[in-house]
């Protein structure tokens, strides 16, 4: 399976991008409008933040789900027993935000959300008529004024060799939301499970933007846009001694948005959070 990067500036970018989403569950953009300088600032200052005890001042709120999640309360992927080897911080529009870092992550949240609306419009414009007819409202409207869209600042610590056998940075999983917007992380390792049941590397050269489908868009599109299983491998050799910082932006609709006859966005989210063991 080949995921072919698409130049955002290409006049035919929307078609090529959504075709990739339909065929693989992933789309990769080059020459996108998100500032690499801004991303580099976030990578560095949040790496520094994770090296301090200040992170423990923002222990996550079980109801609001904002704040810091330590490796001891990290996610356990559905169907797995061992927690992922990571720590992370949840940023919401109205949630807590560390005073130890600049507002760079908040500025990225806004820029990423604006680009995401455009990408959702691409998805809708290139949905077959029968699929499009099933959307309860325009896809980009689903995230308008939503305070649930989540920026997760992930830190995968260097591997010490003392990790629990079989534990990985991110076990195979699907995302919950509509789309996930992910600038290329500071290390490789992201893989997607193809229709051939084999694992394939996702192109992730620095400067690329990786977008994948979440379960909510899968549900809303009746499976036309598939939520594809993916994972983050443990590195080896010298790379294992390095941290990995990643900035996925998870696009979540307002809780009352109807995804299908079975689910609203809110009911779907609560079900999945219970499965992940964080609720």
pLDDT in tens, 77-124: 676 667 788 899 999 998 999 999 999 999 999 999 999 999 999 999
pLDDT band at 277 (very low <50, low <70, confident <90, very high): low
Average pLDDT, the chain: 90
pLDDT in tens, 31-77: 999 999 999 999 999 999 999 999 999 999 988 889 999 988 876 76
Q: Is the pLDDT of residue 11 over 80?
A: yes
- Answer whether residue 200 shows pLDDT above 90: no
d(CA 159, CA 236): 9
Closest among 44, 5, 1, 2 to 205, alpha carbons compared: 5
- Closest by CA to 120, choosing from 145, 138, 135, 147, is 138
Q: CA-to-CA distance for 209 and 106, rounded, in angstroms? A: 18
pLDDT for res 191: 86
Q: What is the pLDDT of residues 205-261, one digit of tens each?
A: 888 999 999 999 999 999 999 998 888 888 888 887 888 899 999 999 999 999 999
Instruction: Identify the pLDDT of residue 57.
Output: 97
Contacts of 251 (CB under 8 A, 6+ apart): 113, 116, 120, 143, 149, 177, 178, 179, 180, 181, 214
The domain defined by 19-276 carries CATH number 2.60.120.330: yes
Domain-by-domain residue ranges, the chain? 19-276
Report residue 7: phi and psi, to 5°: -75, 120
In sign, the C-alpha dihedral spanning 11, 16, 21, 22 is: positive
């Amino acid at each position: 399976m080949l995921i072919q990067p698409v130049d955002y500036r290409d006049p035919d970018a929307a078609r090529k991008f959504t075709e990739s989403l339909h065929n693989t569950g992933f789309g990769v953009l080059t020459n996108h409008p998100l500032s690499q300088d801004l991303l580099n600032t976030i990578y560095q200052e949040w790496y520094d933040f994770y090296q301090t005890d200040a992170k423990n001042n923002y222990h996550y709120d079980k109801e609001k789900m904002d704040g810091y999640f330590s490796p001891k309360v990290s996610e356990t992927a559905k169907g797995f027993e061992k927690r992922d080897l990571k720590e992370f911080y949840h940023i919401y529009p109205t949630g807590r935000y560390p005073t130890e870092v600049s507002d760079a992550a908040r500025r990225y949240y806004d820029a990423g959300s604006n680009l995401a609306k455009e990408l959702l419009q691409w998805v809708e414009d290139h949905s077959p008529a029968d699929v499009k007819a099933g959307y309860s409202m325009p896809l980009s409207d689903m995230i308008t004024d939503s305070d649930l869209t989540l920026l997760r600042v992930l830190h995968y610590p260097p591997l010490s060799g003392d990790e629990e056998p079989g534990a990985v940075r991110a076990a195979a999983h699907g995302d919950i939301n509509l789309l996930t917007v992910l600038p290329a992380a500071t290390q490789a390792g992201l893989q997607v499970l193809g229709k051939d049941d084999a694992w394939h590397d996702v192109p992730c050269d620095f400067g690329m933007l990786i977008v994948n489908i979440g379960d909510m868009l899968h549900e809303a599109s009746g499976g036309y846009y598939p939520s594809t299983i993916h994972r983050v491998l443990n590195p080896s050799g010298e790379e294992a001694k390095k941290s990995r910082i990643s900035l996925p932006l998870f696009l979540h609709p307002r809780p009352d948005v109807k995804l299908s006859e079975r689910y609203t966005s809110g009911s779907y989210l609560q079900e999945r959070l219970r499965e992940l063991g964080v609720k």
